[in-house]
Structure 1
């Protein structure tokens, strides 16, 4: 049984940063957004977090051999066809309460094999998948051999909405390719849908721990220790010598990772100041800020954001 820490929530909520911090803990192997491995890595041969192309990364090649006898044995088009059929937000009610979609077991098995192989190659107690997708978490709930622990990462919806409007390049792509952008109203609706789905997952019996982005940045040691207990990591994981307190907050010393896909921050190595991104308070137009706040008000209140200066 492989222990999987699945980082869930809507993108731009701090999951990549959390994955990088968790990756510094003994006994943890961060894998990045495995949901994108099949296209971006197997087909497009994009760069791993270590800087090497996927095909040249020793870690991922060992994982492929351990999991499948080599990546040549995997048909990425087949995996993506299964994803299109199974891993859809509209299937969540069905996966939660009804009959499993056809192909779900096969699809989930690809992930469980990757997780188990990564744990074997690294000797890790837990692997981290920062895929975020709520529908994938519901698929993994059905996976054999997976001890699923979901860390539900939430951030103020107004900060998330502003982040989705910003232009962010994908440095691992061959061309000048930007990451997806959403309008504030669109991101607000997605924020509601994904976060509500993770709330339901917890009520269905899956181990779910909610973490607020703002609290992670304010006191990373406390948050990481809470996650370490949740994941039942070895006692050594509670030391956190890679974190340093300064007069201006915390600084994290990040080593290289083998993150398969995700935010460009996965390439960052060295000392990183942990600062909360509050640019939305001055840069998101007041009308959009109020619209997003209104659309997401019930969950903002449930997560303790109402009453904060808007």
Structure 2
């Protein structure tokens, strides 16, 4: 890593692919800080002051309070005296402008500019503050790792990853996380509270055609933007492979990010030990702690009816075989696992996972049920 640059592991892809679990597991390793979906820091963290993964409101969290103290407000340079109040930062304005700058309708122009070697997203004064968040987090996150911590950002949205990739002072590597689109479409249909049992708001429930279209667009975009960047900048994994062999895949991800962990948070009997993180946004399971079984969520195999299955398969077909997913409905075994995936054709960039799938659409991110984390909702 170039000296003085904050290391960022950006999880890209579509929703309901297990990003919250991956982020939380990485956050258990020394040298990693699980920051969650940082593109939502401004609205959910600062405007709404939702709970940090540590259990305190974001503005009261010791780590995020230290980060906020380092952020320059309008026409300011960092000053401890001026930074005692997070309200001086135009969080609502930054959140609104980010939504406008990252809209899907602007994606064709972003891709054209990126292909031409120009900044894909127009520069804005907000970028100084956005980049400062990552640099301040790298300074304040506790770690013994040489070179500072790896900030795990599970924002997923490819345009936001492009924005980060163009900011000075950041060293961004992209982890492309994919999951069977039939599993993600089914997961989107579940009713989930937005941020845990105490939250009366529900997550959005897009129709299956829209869930499939988003899966296709964001995964095609992620692959086009970064798959040719080389094995030190881009890694693609399937969530099913993580569930099948969590220790091997987690270690592979950590090494890709520039770390070689001595100890993993996975027990010999397959439990993952989760301690609180400082995730500012994500699936409600980011608050889960303790020794938790990773359970495959193959409910969609039997319960996603024929017409929705056909719709999702037709829309996602251009990438299904490339990612190693069958067109036909996989058979369920007595244990709930699915049959082995179809072979994947070789392509540039490292791809993790050549073993059998344990539950296509395996999940660990829905609300915990009877102590088991399940349902890739990230």
Partner of residue 106, structure 2: 91
Partner of residue 150, structure 2: 126
1:72-111 correspondence runs (5 A): 72-98=87-113, 100=119, 103-111=122-130
**1:230 matched to 2:234:** no
Q: Deviations over 1:265-293 (max 9, x none)?
A: 00000011111211100111122112211
Q: Shift in Å at residue 100 of structure 1?
A: 4.0
**CA 1:294 to 1:96, structure 2 compared with 1: closer, same or farther past 3 Å?**
closer
Partner of residue 266, structure 2: 243
Match of 1:197 among 221, 228, 232: 221
1:137-148 correspondence runs (5 A): 137-148=161-172
Q: Shift in Å at residue 171 of structure 1?
A: 3.6
Partner of residue 46, structure 1: 50
Q: Shift in Å at residue 73 of structure 1?
A: 3.6
**1:66 matched to 2:70:** yes
**CA 1:88 to 1:107, structure 2 compared with 1: closer, same or farther past 3 Å?**
farther
Match of 2:59 among 34, 38, 55: 55
Q: Shift in Å at residue 102 of structure 1?
A: 7.1
Q: Deviations over 1:3-41 (max 9, x none)?
A: 100111111100000001111111001101111111111
Match of 1:152 among 150, 170, 176: 176
Q: Shift in Å at residue 228 of structure 1?
A: 1.4
**1:219 matched to 2:258:** no
Q: Give the distance between the partners of 2:38 and 2:284, measured in 1 at CA.
A: 15
Deviation larger for 58-67 or 85-94: 85-94
- Give yes or no for contact 2:121–2:162 (8 Å, CA) kept in 1: no
Q: Give the distance between the partners of 1:165 and 1:176, measured in 2 at CA.
A: 17
| Structure 2 residue runs without a partner (length 5+) | 73-77, 331-378
**1:34 matched to 2:60:** no
Partner of residue 273, structure 1: 293
Deviation larger for 186-195 or 43-52: 43-52
Partner of residue 177, structure 1: 201
Q: Give the distance between the partners of 1:175 and 1:260, measured in 2 at CA.
A: 15
Q: Give the distance between the partners of 1:274 and 1:26, measured in 2 at CA.
A: 21
Q: Give the distance between the partners of 2:183 and 2:262, measured in 1 at CA.
A: 30
- Give yes or no for contact 1:225–1:238 (8 Å, CA) kept in 2: no
Q: Give the distance between the partners of 2:104 and 2:160, measured in 1 at CA.
A: 9
- Give yes or no for contact 1:86–1:101 (8 Å, CA) kept in 2: no
**1:299 matched to 2:314:** no
- Give yes or no for contact 1:82–1:104 (8 Å, CA) kept in 2: no
SS in 2 for 1:244: coil
SS in 1 for 2:70: helix
**1:116 matched to 2:135:** yes
Deviation larger for 20-29 or 48-57: 48-57
Partner of residue 9, structure 1: 13
| TM-score of the pair, normalised by structure 2 | 0.76
SS in 2 for 1:130: strand
Aligned length in residues: 304
- Give yes or no for contact 1:154–1:212 (8 Å, CA) kept in 2: yes
Q: Deviations over 1:46-102 (max 9, x none)?
A: 111111111221111011112334333410132123213321223333333325477
Structure ranking higher in helix proportion: 1
RMSD: 2.0
Q: Shift in Å at residue 309 of structure 1?
A: 4.1
Q: Deviations over 1:193-238 (max 9, x none)?
A: 00001001114637221010000011011111111121111x3x14
SS in 2 for 1:167: coil
